[in-house]
Chains A and B, each alone.
Chain A
Amino acid sequence: MRDPVTVRLRVNGVECQGRCEPRKLLVDFLREDLGLTGTHVGCEHGICGACTILFNGEAARSCIMLAVQADGAEILTVEGLMQNGKLHPLQEAFREHHGLQCGFCTPGMLITALDLLQTNPSPTEGEIREGISAVLCRCTGYHGILKAVEAAARTMREA
């Protein structure tokens, strides 16, 4: 164990800071120190994608990063998707197309889909499959998720 260090970062547009051990995982810092439990832990070894966040604008797995590495970073978690009490088009589309069952993969899936649509606003079905293959969903068979991402892409292009 080492003495705690201070980590300062911007999460969902808000300046945050906390003190934690240098070895603390970013996902644990978000969940425990900042109380943002929307980001989930499914494997802690970088495979399942449940812990995916946007890290300085790009999708990253918060279970294989340390909180100290995020010092000074800009982070978006699922809690930051809703704006002014309105669901993000991706959130709307997941609901409309039954893109979730148990909901455990959903935060990582939403953030991963957001990352995909930011870089590729008009993905083909194959590109969506490949994009979201970074996150495991055990419940849905991905069908509703694919439809949701397609629909959200349309909405976001038109917006």
Chain B
Amino acid sequence: MSLIGAPVRRVEDARFLTGRGRYVADMTLSRMLHVAFLRSPYAHARIVSIDTRRARELPGVAACVTGDELAPCARPIRAESKMAGYRATEFPALARGKVRFAGEAVAAVLAESRYAAEDALEAIDVRYETLPVIATPEAAMAGDATLVHEAAGSNVLLSRAFVQGDAEAAIARAPVVVGGRFRFHRHAGVTLENRACLADWDAGARELTLWSSTQVPGLLRETLAELLDLPAHRLRVVAPDVGGGFGVKSALYPEEVAVCALARLAGRPAKWVGDRREDLLTSTQAWDETIEAELAVHADGTISALRARVVADVGAYSIHPWTASIEVIQVISFLPGPYRVPHYRGEGWGVATNKAPMGPYRGVGRPVSTFVTEALMDRAARRLGIDPVELRLRNLLRPDELPYRSPSGVVWDSGSFVESLERARDVAEYERVRAEQRRGRDAGRYVGIGVACYVELTGVGSAIPASPGAAINTGTEGATIRVDPGGTVTASFGLACHGQGHETTLAQVVAEELGAQLENVRVIHGDTAAGPAGTGTYASRSAVIGGGAAMLAARALREKALAIAAHLLEVAAGDLTLADGRASVRGAPDRTLTLREIARAAYAGAKRLPKGMEPGLEATRFYDPYFGTASNATHVAVVEVDPETCAVVVRRFVVVEDCGRIINPLIVEGQAIGGTAQGIGAALLEEIVYGDDGQLLTGSLLDYLVPTAAEVPAIEVVHLERPSPTTLGGFKGVGEGGTIGAPAAVANAIADALAPLGVEISELPVTPERLFRLISPGGRPLR
């Protein structure tokens, strides 16, 4: 049986289960200092003066550093983009001149303990002169608005449009047009491990090592080298065990720059471990978009046009490398979904405000675009009196139409859109739920069923950057595989792992392709000193790109191992098989050599190798899937709304997903369910709220609600497993999908439940309060 596709139990689990995981916070270096940041209490203010004298004199305090003092050691992060009309912003490690959001770091203390460092924060005197707070994109775009970045010249940092055909004319002609003003509020990723980093400067060797809770060690190294003025080969970035990423840890953060510079200044290792308040105040947040959209359909329900205007609140800084464009451009890129949309116009604006920066979060843009498009599909279905599943079936791209170039230029190489919808309808017992719904309505119960279909570009290769216009290459990854002299296998990657189980899945790929025993393969990742050049793990890319690189390198090694074995056994290489750590002669099962014996020969040099063969048994290969490949799924939610308490209970949730060839079904299921749970949280509970003064009102987990086991329903996952025709191995990405479909499915299910009341869901999350206002605009309960 192939190891690719086997439900192998994870090799990384043993250390996590026994408390031996090693996250940044767990690390201690001798002479290490602890860093605490003084954070701005104001959302927008000029820094008049900072006096650190009292703080510096406190016991246990080694240094206290301001933005001006740090500036000579660290250039600001500048988020560049090739996108036309984009305005780059600079994000300093510590604020200089002014602060642009509440929580921005203005000074840092280095002390013998975190307790002492925090004591010292209280002794720093900062004088601020407050500035008008830009709390909304509307305010930011007003003619006389105060600028968040004077140097940018405008609060509108970017705008972009995708146009195909003539959406205006088509909408004017169409018999049915549905539309709405949609709002998806701000969201926080809430990795359970807060961000943290530890830097060690070796003044003798002039080398810096940074351990960071990051998804992108390779990317950090290249950028930090520039900002810190260090050659990259003197900089090593390690992502040790990382407690969740979800996109939140895929940007370069000012704290990472600051901690490196502070360690260098102090000549001692410096460690910062963010607390939850800092995480909610300063980690990149998601979504926060307002979408005005219209969908035009013919009388038979086929789509004629889609038009959308999307305004994104991108917060105070554009982030590196994704820039402030990442969310909103993805929304307008993916609004047409897996449907045939002849005429399309999608326009987006990214607007700076005095809030934490917006960044990529699981699904990036697509949870929002799917929410909007799928809501419009249901509205059209209701208007036409066509069943929503039927309406989708009439519009979904069929396999014979693929590859298909979407209105925004994305190529869908393949997809099982129709199949996944039909399967989801059957698994969820759609007709039975409809019957139950009818009976329930007679009895005053509000049951609803909601469907959401999506397609997702994954494993994006070099044809387009993972973030439009981003100034970095994201299309390739490498694998270095070595058969050790003793016959075990070490495979290193530039990828980083934060829960995806790469140490297991990539080992499965390597073992299968090389012909090694699974338990003899060890995967190393997340260390720029250990692996080939790479950026890290984000954008549902690792199985596709890392897996592809692993296949190429493993195949190269296999070929060489077979050539060596053939030489030693005096047979033709074509007569040999290599599996399970053993090369055997076809038809002569007793004539074998183990991988260990082959490795021994490989390192013994010329006397045991075929003439002219280079010794060693190691290969590095890179893989570029060029366009990337389409994953798709259908989500179905069944909900019941209690009209009295406005509580929504998700009674059933079905996911029919196609992530191509599956490496490990346990892990695919875990990703799909985990992502879906986050999407359900986004639909019902999770919301970052700022006051008009730019103060974060949801600065603890008491206020920002992450779903617990009591809120997440059982989620049934069905795999379609239609291999990608374009990627090596047939893999497609699966990390983000769950979060893309779930908000839309839940929103549609609620709207479906409340259809008799004429309620439409245009705003997420659907908190009980929002639902109450929708159900009873006059403020009276329903019964």
**Bound pair: A and B?**
yes
Chain A residues close to B by CB (< 8 Å) = 1, 21, 23-24, 31-32, 36-45, 47-48, 50, 77-79, 81-82, 87, 91, 94-96, 98, 100-107, 110, 128-130, 132-146
Report yes or no: A141 in contact with B243, Cβ–Cβ below 8 A.
Answer: no
Query: Interface of chain A, helix or strand or loop or mixed?
Result: loop
Question: In whole Å, how far is A91's beta carbon from the nearest beta carbon of chain B?
Answer: 4
Structural contact, A38 and B19, CB atoms closer than 8 A: yes
A145 to B674, CA, bound (A): 11
Partner of B710 from the list A98, A101, A133, A139 (CB cut-off 8 Å) is A133
Q: Is the CB of A40 within 8 A of B243?
A: yes
Chain A CB within 8 A of B10 CB: yes
- Distance in angstroms from B501 CB to nearest chain A CB is 7
Binding site for A on B (CB under 8 A): 9-10, 12-23, 25-26, 28, 59, 115-116, 119, 190-194, 241-244, 246, 273, 275-276, 498-501, 666-667, 669-670, 673-678, 700-702, 706, 708-710, 712, 714-715, 738
**A91–B16 CA distance with the chains assembled, in angstroms:** 10
A38-B20, A91-B17, A105-B192 are contacts. A139–B244 as well, Cβ < 8 Å? yes
Tell me if B700 and A102 are in contact (CB < 8 A): no
Q: Please, which residue of chain A has its CB at the minimum distance from the CB of B702?
A: A47
Decide if A139 touches B17 in the complex (CB within 8 Å): no
10 contacts between A and B (CB under 8 A): A31-B25, A43-B700, A45-B276, A87-B17, A98-B666, A102-B193, A137-B709, A138-B192, A141-B712, A144-B673
Given A140-B670, A142-B708, 8 other A-B contacts at CB below 8 A? Answer: A1-B59, A40-B23, A40-B193, A48-B276, A104-B193, A136-B192, A138-B191, A138-B244
| Contact between chains at A102 and B192 (CB < 8 Å) | yes
Alpha-carbon gap, A79 to B18, bound state (A): 6
Indicate which residue in B19, B499, B702 contacts A107 across the interface (CB closer than 8 Å): B19
Q: How far is the CB of A20 from chain B (nearest CB, A)?
A: 10
Question: B23 contacts which chain A residues (CB < 8 A)?
Answer: 37, 40, 104
Q: Determine if A95 and B192 form an interchain contact, defined as CB atoms under 8 angstroms apart.
A: no
Chain A's closest residue to B738 (CB) is A141
Chain B residues with CB under 8 Å of A142's CB are 677, 708-709, 712
Q: Are A102 and B498 in contact (CB under 8 A)?
A: yes
A56 to B678, CA, bound (A): 35
- CA of A81 to CA of B16 in the docked complex: distance in angstroms? 12
CB pair A41 B25 closer than 8 Å: yes
What residues of A have a CB within 8 angstroms of the CB of B116 in the complex?
1
Question: Is A132 in contact with B18, judged by CB distance below 8 angstroms?
Answer: no
| Interchain CA distance A7-B241 in the complex, whole Å | 31
Q: In the complex, A103→B9 CA distance in Å?
A: 14
> Cβ of A31: which chain B residues have Cβ within 8 Å of it?
25-26
Residue among A21, A48, A100, A142 facing the most chain B CB atoms (10 A cut-off): A142
- Select which of B21, B191, B670, B708 is within 8 A of A133 by beta carbon: B708
In the complex, what residues of B have CB within 8 A of residue A104's CB? 21, 23, 191-193, 243-244
* Cα distance A24–B16 in the bound complex, in angstroms: 26
Q: Name B673's closest neighbour in chain A (CB-CB).
A: A141
Please state if A95 and B10 are interface contacts (CB–CB under 8 Å): yes
Out of A43, A44, A98, A146, which one reaches B10, CB within 8 Å?
A98
Q: Which residue of A lies closest to B7 (CB)?
A: A98
**Pair B19/A78 contact, Cβ less than 8 Å:** yes
Do A139 and B499 form a contact, CB below 8 Å, given A50-B192, A95-B13, A102-B244?
A: yes
A77 to chain B minimum Cβ distance, whole angstroms, is 7
- Give A5 to B676 CA distance when docked, in angstroms: 48
Is the Cβ of A98 less than 8 Å from the Cβ of B670? yes
From B16, B28, B115, B194, A21 is in contact (CB under 8 Å) with B115
B contact residues around A24 at 8 Å (CB): 115
**Closest chain A residue to B667, Cβ basis:** A98
Q: Which of A95, A103, A146 meets B241, CB within 8 Å? A: A103
Given A36-B19, A136-B706, A138-B246, A101 and B674 contact (CB-CB distance below 8 Å): yes
Q: Measured between alpha carbons, how far is A135 from B499 in the docked complex, in Å? A: 17
Whether the pair A133, B701 counts as a contact (CB closer than 8 A) is: no
The 10 closest A-B pairs by CB, nearest first: A38-B19, A103-B16, A104-B243, A141-B677, A102-B499, A101-B499, A37-B26, A78-B19, A47-B701, A133-B708
Q: A45 — which chain B residues lie within 8 A by C-beta?
A: 276, 700-702
Chain A residues within an 8 Å CB radius of B276: 42-45, 48
Least distance between A113 CB and chain B CB atoms (Å): 11
Cβ A143 vs Cβ B673 within 8 A: yes
| Cβ-closest chain A residue relative to B717 | A143
Report Cα–Cα, A48/B702, bound state, in Å.
Answer: 10
| Cβ–Cβ < 8 Å partners of B499 in chain A | 101-103, 139
Q: Chain B residues with Cβ under 8 A from A79's Cβ?
A: 18-19
Q: Choose one: A48, A103, A128, A139; the contact of B674 (CB below 8 Å).
A: A139
Partner of A48, one of B13, B192, B675: B192
Q: Indicate which residue in A38, A134, A136, A146 contacts B701 across the interface (CB closer than 8 Å).
A: A136
Q: Which residues of A contact B25 (CB under 8 A)?
A: 31, 37, 40-41
Q: How far is the CA of A140 from the CA of B670 in the complex (A)?
A: 6
Contact residues in B for A132 (Cβ distance below 8 Å): 708-709
- Residues on A with C-beta less than 8 A from B15 are 103
Give the chain B neighbours of A100 by CB distance below 8 A: 13, 16-17
Cross-chain contact A91 with B18 (CB below 8 angstroms): yes
Asked if B674 contacts A140 (CB within 8 A), the reply is yes
Q: Name the CB-closest residue of A to B273.
A: A41
Whether the Cβ atoms of A130 and B670 lie closer than 8 Å is no
Q: Give min CB distance, B674 to chain A, whole Å.
A: 5
Q: Could you say which of B18, B20, B673 has the most chain A C-beta atoms within 10 Å of its C-beta?
A: B18
CB < 8 Å neighbour of A106 from B16, B115, B673, B714: B16
Given known pairs A137-B192, A141-B674, A141-B677, the reply for A110 and B710 (CB within 8 Å) is no
Smallest distance from the beta carbon of B245 to chain A beta carbons, Å?
A: 8
Minimum distance in angstroms from A55 CB to a CB of chain B:
17
Min C-beta distance of B738 to chain A, whole Å: 8
Q: How far is the CA of A82 from the CA of B243 in the complex (A)?
A: 22
Shortest beta-carbon distance, B33 to chain A, in Å? 14
The answer to whether B9 touches A42, judged by C-beta atoms less than 8 angstroms apart, is no
Report the minimal beta-carbon distance from B28 to chain A, rounded to whole angstroms. Answer: 8
Contacts A42-B194, A129-B710 hold; do A94 and B18 have CB atoms under 8 A apart?
A: no
CA distance A142 to B653 in the complex (A): 14
Closest residue of chain A to B706 (Cβ to Cβ) is A136
Closest Cβ of chain A to B193, distance in Å, is 5
Residue numbers in B under 8 Å from A107 (CB-CB): 19
In whole angstroms, what is the CA distance A54 to B21 when docked?
20
Min Cβ gap B702→A in Å is 6
Rounded to whole Å, the gap between the CB of A85 and the closest CB of chain B is: 10
Q: How far is the CB of A24 from chain B (nearest CB, A)?
A: 7
Q: Which residues of A contact B738 (CB under 8 A)?
A: 141
Q: Name the CB-closest residue of B to A37.
A: B26
Pairwise interchain contact B12-A103, C-beta atoms closer than 8 A: yes
Contact check: which of B273, B669, B676, B700 meets A98 at CB < 8 Å?
B669
Nearest-CB residue, chain A, relative to B242: A102
Which chain B residues border A110 with CB–CB below 8 Å?
17
Q: Smallest distance from the beta carbon of A33 to chain B beta carbons, Å?
A: 11
Report Cα–Cα, A96/B678, bound state, in Å: 23
Most A CB atoms within 10 A — which of B19, B670, B706?
Answer: B19
What residues of chain A lie closer than 8 Å to B59, measured between beta carbons?
A: 1
Of chain B, the residue at the smallest CB distance from A50 is: B192
Q: Which residue of A lies closest to B16 (CB)?
A: A103
Q: In the docked arrangement, what's the CA distance between A142 and B708, Å?
A: 8
Name the residue on A nearest B711 (C-beta): A133
Q: How far is the CA of A100 from the CA of B244 in the complex (A)?
A: 11
Query: Does B21 contact A103, Cβ atoms closer than 8 Å?
Result: yes
